[in-house]
Amino acid sequence: MDGPMAQVIGDARGARLRRLLVCAGVCVAVVAVVPIVGQWLTNPPDQRLVDLEVYREGGLAVLRGAPLYDFLTQPPQLLPFTYPPIAAALAVPFTLLPWRAAQWAWVGLIYLSLAIVVWYAFRDLLRRTGRWAPLTAGVLFAAMAWLDPVRDQVRFGQVGLFLLAMCLADCCARTARWPRGMLVGLAVAIKLVPGVFLIYFLLTGRRDALVNAVLTAAAATLAGFALLPADSSAYWFGALLQGGDRTGAVDGTTNQAIHGIVARIFDEGPVRTLVWLVLALVVAYFGFVWARRLTLAADDLAGPDSASLLLGGVAVVGLLSVALSPVGWIHHLVWMIAVIGALVGDGRDTRRCLIAGGLWFLFLWPLPWWGRAWIGPEHSVIAEFGGQVLRDSFGLAALASIAVLGVWLVKRVKPGADREDPSQP
């Protein structure tokens, strides 16, 4: 059979295959997240999405006109609100829902954000798989959903994936349907740590994005002052300066920032502060240099290699937001998705894929907590040392990832990209 009828039959079969692949991809994604959602939405109420409770209580404080930075959530958590006032205003819609419905809505938004992140992080690999892209997307979504930082997003009801999706879309979208930089500015207004992208925009010559980000962040902050003048003054001139005390112990296992690693080695005092500041300055210098190198190398290329380098530069800046912060919790390391995506690229480079697979496997397990269990008087010196290293493993892996992207990846994709013209500033 040939002619128009054969074409119609072929189109029908192709459409049927596409539907089957979409269904298969959705099924893989759903099967992957059901155990995670089932675990964290059925655990004891006082251990369930505790950070979402903070946002909801903040929204309730806004509606009641109560002081935003004076309340604590219900025992045993007793958590304060530590975010800018505009974040509490944005959380108001979730106060209008019953607690159970708010949990499900929040988790749904977390996984919607993860889908957006997977698209931007693995866009070239998905395009290369052609008609199989829906199934590939489902598999990648499932693989990223089981990363320990991503599981913690659901466990605590955090906003990290929201911010990651906004920053990736703003920096990596090939054609933005919004003023470039606006999403980063909104992310900065919600939580200050994405502010490192303002430095990134400046260093890479993306001045329009910088201006848009600053204007958006300023507008959102001024809106917070207009809506909540007393709370805004309390935050910007009070609660913000108490951040270290309000967010928890800096030497806790979950703090994988440089500050946390140093705090687990040195006792509190001038020496610890000095060591932290020196290490932070060194990491900041090399991190921003490598992020700029990756981005400028991406500007000189086209196709998947360009996208990988650009994504790598953005991932380095995202990791800096965690490493340089006084507190960089494990769930903040969702930026490892961008690292893995930058390494994988379109999947043609076996060595890059192997390194990406190794990082993915590393972050599947709660290694810092395993290391914490090895520390104590009942363990040998060797076990204690191994436990300390394992306890810091996520933070150390994040720092190593910055170097891998900034040095190894850029040389592998574009040899000689780091040899800039010395006459250029």
Whether 31 is in a domain gets the answer: no
Residue type, 338: A
Q: What percent of the chain has pLDDT over 90?
A: 81
Report d(CA 82, CA 190) in Å as an integer: 11
Better-scored residue on pLDDT, 196 or 381? 196
Scanning the structure block, which residue is given the tokens 């001045």?
Answer: 207
Whether 189 is in a domain gets the answer: no
Query: 312 by DSSP, 3-state: which?
Result: helix
Whether 386 is in a domain gets the answer: yes
Residue 47 confidence (pLDDT): 79
Q: Are 186 and 218 in contact (CB under 8 A)?
A: no
pLDDT tens digit sequence for 359-394: 999 999 999 999 999 998 888 889 999 999 999 999
Which region among 23-37, 151-165, 234-248 has the lowest average model confidence (pLDDT)? 234-248
Whether 93 is in a domain gets the answer: no
Residue 313's domain spans which residues?
Answer: 253-413
Q: What is the mean pLDDT of residues 4-27?
A: 77
Buried/exposed 90-103: b ≥16 CB within 10 Å, e otherwise: bbbebbeeeeeebb
Whether 172 is in a domain gets the answer: no
Residue 303 confidence (pLDDT): 82
Number of domains present in the structure of the chain = 1
77 band by pLDDT with thresholds 50, 70 and 90: confident
Q: What is the mean pLDDT of residues 224-233?
A: 93
Chain-wide mean pLDDT for the chain?
92
Whether 83 is in a domain gets the answer: no
Q: Are 181 and 208 in contact (CB under 8 A)?
A: yes
Whether 241 is in a domain gets the answer: no
Whether 290 is in a domain gets the answer: yes
Which residues are CB-contacts of 146 (< 8 A; sequence separation ≥ 6)? Answer: 32, 36, 364
pLDDT tens digit sequence for 106-154: 999 999 999 999 999 999 999 999 999 999 999 999 999 999 999 999 9
Report d(CA 45, CA 50) in Å as an integer: 9
DSSP 160-224: HHHHHHHHHHHHH-SS-SS-TTHHHHHHHHH-SGGGHHHHHHHHTT-HHHHHHHHHHHHHHHHHH
Q: Are 57 and 81 in contact (CB under 8 A)?
A: yes
Q: What is the mean pLDDT of residues 269-290?
A: 97
pLDDT at 419 over 60: no
Which region among 68-82, 278-292, 302-316, 393-407 has the lowest average model confidence (pLDDT)? 68-82
